[in-house]
Chain A
Amino acid sequence: MHMFSPESWYWLYDIPHFRLSLLFIGTFVGFYWAGSILLRPILRQFVKSTAGSNDIVGYVLSCFCVFYGLLLGLIAVTAYQNVAEAGANVTREAASLSALYEDVSRYPEPHRQNLRWLLRDYTRYVIKYAWPLQQRGIIPEEGTIRAAAFYDKLLDFEPQTPAEQILHAEVLRQLNEFLEARQMRLLSVKSSLPSSMWYVMILGAILNIAICWLFDMRFITQLLLGGILAAYLGTMMHLIFDMNQPFRGDVSISAEPFEVLYKRMEDE
């Protein structure tokens, strides 16, 4: 794995949410302050002699901030949409599973019990084994086996009456819905923003901060105002990073829809 690839930074998801937030903010503010001390005197040589330099820097910063703000906003929305879509897929999969469970409950024995049991087994696997793997960014494989076991067993059933034929056709339709939602969930385990977006975002943040170093003002004021801007940039970056992987980090999609379903299955 390349050290600059986004995957090489995924260990950050193991840090508790609040601490990670502080880490992002601290890194940005620290970078700004360090630059204020070390780089600002050099950079200011380029604008020091210019009259009204603050106006020019302010104008450039405003223009830059418009573009950068737009970019950040759009990326944040995209990341949020990814999370929302993955969440919707999880809900859809659990809902299909629930409908399947209800439908096969109308089958005659021994199919009824066998099929219900296989669905329960699948749900248990998703909660106990698949979710922890997803939270580590690993696509769980063994759920496919359990889904295939259900499919196999379902095909053992040969409808004898028109009512059973209708029910069976509906179950097969529902099964396809479930398999589709399941596949979408698995695909979203690895879904994230492309590397190029991260490069542009990080470069934009650095340039944003660098422009602030060009302002001519009291040092303490520089630290304070620039620090506030850097802190907000850090917060935005943290937000996007947090939403980048739908199943990772403290703020991620939970297995709750499956847990609710499993509890109902157990209670019956």
Chain B
Amino acid sequence: MSDTPGSGFSRRDALRRGTAATLAAARALSPALFAGCSLGIPPRAKTVNVGLLHSQTGPLAISATGLRDIELHAFEQINAAGGLLGRQIVPHAPDPRSRVDLFPKRARRLLDEGSVAVFGCWTSTSRKAVLPIFEEAKKLLFYSVQYEGNESSPFVVYGGMVPNQQILPALDWLASAAGGLRKKIFLVGSDYVYPRTANFIAKKYLAAKSLKPVGTAYVPLGDRDFSGVVKQIRESGADCVLNTVNGDSNIGLFEALAEAKVDPATVPVVSTSIAEDELRSLLPGHVKGHYAVSCYFQSLDTPANRAWIAGFRREFGHDRVTGDPMEPDWCLVHLWKQAVEKAGSFETEAVRQVFREGLEFAGPGGPVRLDPKTQHTTKFCRIGRIRGDRQFDIVHTSPAPIDPDPYPEIAFPGWSVDWTKGGITRGAEVDIDGDV
């Protein structure tokens, strides 16, 4: 049947020729048009979710935001190098807004959304608030801030200093000739679990040396009115202050000290929670000459540290600073990476098995070892004097990294932890608010 009479070109002919021509064209052109895959859709990279649980607003933001950024920096580097186990790490960073009641909600959300691990928390109160969630979900929390010890969980990796690595060496230094032979110590802290427990340990330690603090004061977290506290310090005759105040309450403390003309040469303040990031919000005139005790200072002059700082600044700006606990946080991310790579899995139990073998990482502040017994890390103890440029002169460094002891015998007799041999050994109950 001819389609158009007399044309001599039947519909069937057209179909046959058309089909042949189409197939030939498709065959010739398809490699060029659809090279690699059918439609040229770039394959979407496999991903793995990781949670970052840091306050980005509220009084703790001043400290915690640096942790978020150093973690982002670490994950960006890992992703640029091909990811972890072939997966790109996708960080999720909700904001608990410095509110303890929001931490569990945000932690739950992160785990529900599939985070294989969470890096986060600043205060011990927030850590304790989320702990049951991680234990129930059997997921790992990486906590990089110095804390009071007296806690161990198989689902937490503690990257910060504990009192035997920070506060006790600081007390020793203050009592030494280098520290000015100071023995009249005033303890000031924010009113929550870390300062109270840390001060309890400090009091026990001093008591063992037949010493007693000349005064103790606590202010609510976030409070900035320290006029009464400074009055107490002056009246106590203290020759030094051990400061466990957290967040931007420190602004109020140092303002009040400066207004009361407390001279750092005669009554130095040794702070446990002040690093370079916190100094950004403190006036140099208020803090110059005081001290901080830490495992890391930006002014540490080593090639590894210089390279690390340069890398961070390249990404986040040349006016950014590094400090403790950013450095321990960086080490924790890399210890986790090592563990995942060795385990070949993101599963918590597989990763924890690798922890038991012990892991080491060359951090910017020096070598770090994850202690398999306690899931804490070894630390150098460094004491720095605050300079006018918001940096530290390092005046003391422990001769070697100090092993972690979350239950110092002097404060928690009979208590210990060994995750390679069954976990926590319990001693007698200790009342940290009781008399020492």
- Give the interface of A toward B (CB within 8 A): 11, 14-16, 19, 22-23, 33, 37, 110, 113-114, 116-117, 120-121, 124, 128, 142, 145-146, 148-149, 152, 217-220, 223, 265-266
Contacts and interface: CB of A to CB of B under 8 A. Distances in A.
Given A219-B11, A220-B9, A110 B281 contact: yes
A220 B33 contact: no
Contact of A146 (B7, B56, B316, B319): B56
Nearest to B34: A19
Interface string B94-106: 1100000000000
A266 B40 contact: no
Nearest to A13: B41
B132 interface: no
Contacts of B94: 142, 145
B87 interface: no
Contacts of B425: none
A148 B61 CA distance: 11
Given A23-B39, A219-B4, A145 B95 contact: yes
Contacts of A113: 280, 319
| A152, A217, A223 interface centre (most CB from chain B within 10 Å) | A152
10 contacts: A15-B39, A15-B40, A37-B15, A110-B281, A117-B320, A124-B316, A142-B94, A148-B56, A149-B57, A152-B57
A266 B317 contact: yes
Contacts of A146: 56
Interface residues of B, number: 35
B89 to A, nearest CB: 12
Nearest to B90: A129
A128 B75 CA distance: 13
Classify the interface of chain A: helix, strand, loop or mixed.
helix
Given A148-B95, A149-B57, A114 B39 contact: no
A19 B14 contact: no
A142 B93 contact: yes
B3 A14 contact: no
Given A114-B280, A149-B65, A219 B317 contact: no
Given A117-B317, A266-B318, A16 B40 contact: yes
Nearest to A111: B281
Chain B interface, >50% SS class: loop
B414 interface: no
Interface in B1-57: 3-4, 7, 9, 11, 14-15, 18, 33-34, 39-42, 44, 56-57
Given A37-B15, A220-B9, A148 B57 contact: yes
Contacts of B39: 15, 19, 23
Contacts of B18: 33, 223
Nearest to B65: A149
Contact of A14 (B4, B42, B58, B320): B42
Nearest to A217: B4
A142 B51 CA distance: 13
Interface of B: 3-4, 7, 9, 11, 14-15, 18, 33-34, 39-42, 44, 56-58, 61, 65, 69, 76, 92-95, 280-283, 316-320
B117 to A, nearest CB: 19
B58 A152 contact: yes
B317 A223 contact: no
A121 B4 contact: no
A21 B272 CA distance: 62
Contact of A219 (B14, B33, B56, B280): B14
Contact of A110 (B7, B65, B280, B318): B280
A96 B34 CA distance: 43
Contacts of B65: 121, 149
A213 B76 CA distance: 57
B160 to A, nearest CB: 23
Contacts of B69: 121
B320 A145 contact: no
A14 B45 CA distance: 13
Given A117-B317, A218-B7, A110 B58 contact: no
A218 B61 CA distance: 76
Nearest to B69: A121
A125 to B, nearest CB: 9
A134 B57 CA distance: 24
